[in-house]
Amino acid sequence: MATTGLQHVAAMYAGVVAPPLIVGAAIGLSATDLTFLTGACLFTAGLATFLQTLGVWKIGARLPFVNGVTFAGVAPMTAVVASTHDKSDALPIIFGAVIVAGLLGFLAAPVFCKAVRFFPPVVTGTVITLIGVSLLPVAFNWAQGPDPAADDYGSGTHLGLAGATLLIVLLLRRFTRGFVKQIAVLLGLIVGTLIAIPFGATDFGPVSDAAVVGFPTPFHFGTPQFHLAAILSMCVVMVVSMTESTADMLALGEIVERPADERTIAAGLRADTLGSALSPLFNGFMCSAFAQNIGLVAMTRIRSRYVVATGGAFLVLMGLCPMAASLIAVVPRPVLGGAGVVLFGSVAASGIQTLVRAGLDRDNNVLIVAVSLAVGIVPITAPEFYHAFPETARIVLDSGISTGCVAAVLLNLVFNHLGRDTDAADVTHPMEAGTELTGAATGVAPPHAPATP
């Protein structure tokens, strides 16, 4: 439990600490405050993971989900920083906006979850594939090094370390069995870090500079402030986050063979939004499910939510012990990149497995997948494609997962539902308005299906 839980933390650590580092640098925080902000985000990610995996009342999907800071909020948060005259007010304004967006999202979860009926396998398979494809550039960037402005960015040394880590993981997966095989990614990260030491790519400075004990004091950066413009921008981010979380829950439901129904998705969205609303109290940002950990579940086939809850406990401890948090920071980015290729590629492979069951022998479904994938890949292959659009619109458009998901849902409605005979042989997943959908028709469990512990 400890090793596999730590493996989840290692897989998502960089994604959790990146937003506070970026926002903190934009504000100009001191090294001490930046460390505090990063630790607070780790602490709140652990609390949100507890909500999602263990659950309270109707809160929590009770699936092996890791929650952490969503990267979708980085752009609007840095925009708030840029528009704030007194930079000391930036974080209180951001925290106030996140609290309001989280509470509104919590109230909207029971309505938002009903979108599950519009996610048959042709849609879920497309979205799961997009999740994996969208994450792969993150691994490629990690593999090139920590600083794009550095002279050695993309050097043979960095790419060699990434390749060595990837090779180690593959060899462990191929020639070992049992427990060792299950923690292949964690072992790959450890061995890759040791290999990186002679090349000077491993920095132990974070460990020596970190304090042993620290607590994210509530409202450390000031009392939350509520500005309408910031609230509106974070509400848009919340919609994007809820859309991606819905897709992530459907993806994980397929992988663990417990298809997510409306009740599960509603509970999961409540955990996301409540975790986001509580996070600013401890100086954290908006939380969402981490897609990269879905790849870890798919690869290791360890489906226990208690393993992920153990990972949440590690996150809480790291938030309370900066020195412990710094141990994960020692892992070089190229080493993380090599492991990320396996993790994120596994997500895309899971999506392809779902598409196999989606009836791609029918032209309509081929068109749905083709166009949706193309729309979702636009932000990856052409990052400036939507540069002329307003900043608020770009929050949605620059998320390939969100745009691809919307495209797949709309195209499925047009081609497989609206104005067609739902008994026709070429309709793969009919959606008859006003009738309850069964798992056989949609690939998801009906809304009244009981949750599996």
Residue 448 lies in a domain: no
CB-count exposure of residue 18 (10 Å: 0-12, 13-18, 19+): middle
Residue 451 lies in a domain: no
Taking every pair of C-alpha atoms in the chain, what is the biggest distance, in angstroms? Answer: 68
Assigned domain for 212 exists? yes
Sequential pLDDT tens for the chain (453 residues): 888 888 788 777 767 877 887 788 778 887 678 778 888 888 999 999 999 888 888 898 888 888 888 876 776 787 788 778 788 888 999 999 999 999 999 998 888 887 666 777 888 788 878 877 887 887 898 899 888 888 889 899 999 999 999 999 999 988 987 767 767 887 888 899 999 999 888 877 767 776 777 778 888 888 899 988 788 878 877 877 787 788 788 878 888 878 778 888 889 899 999 999 999 999 999 988 887 677 778 777 888 889 889 988 988 988 888 776 666 667 888 998 898 888 778 778 878 888 887 878 888 899 999 999 999 899 888 888 988 888 767 766 777 777 888 888 899 999 887 766 444 444 443 333 333 433 433 444 444 444 444
Domain assignment of residue 452, yes or no: no
H or E element that contains 212? none
* Domains: count for the chain: 1
**Within-domain flag for 453:** no
Question: Which residues contact residue 266 at a Cβ distance below 8 angstroms, ignoring those fewer than 6 apart?
Answer: 58, 109, 110, 112, 113
Q: Which residue has the tokens 């100086």?
A: 283
Name, in order, each residue with C-beta under 8 angstroms of 119's C-beta and a sequence gap of 6 or more: 127, 246, 247, 250, 409, 442, 443, 444
Q: Is residue 349 part of a domain?
A: yes
Q: Which domain holds residue 58?
A: 2-442
Question: The tokens 């902000």 sit on which residue?
Answer: 37
295 CB-near residues (< 8 Å, 6+ apart): 11, 132, 135, 342, 343, 344, 345, 346, 347, 350
Query: Coil, helix or strand for 347?
Result: helix
Residues 6+ apart with CB under 8 A from 342: 166, 169, 170, 185, 295, 299
Does the residue 384 lie in any domain?
A: yes
Q: How many whole angstroms separate alpha carbon 331 and alpha carbon 196?
A: 9
Handedness of CA 35, 38, 44, 46 (dihedral sign): negative
Residue 261 belongs to some domain of the structure: yes
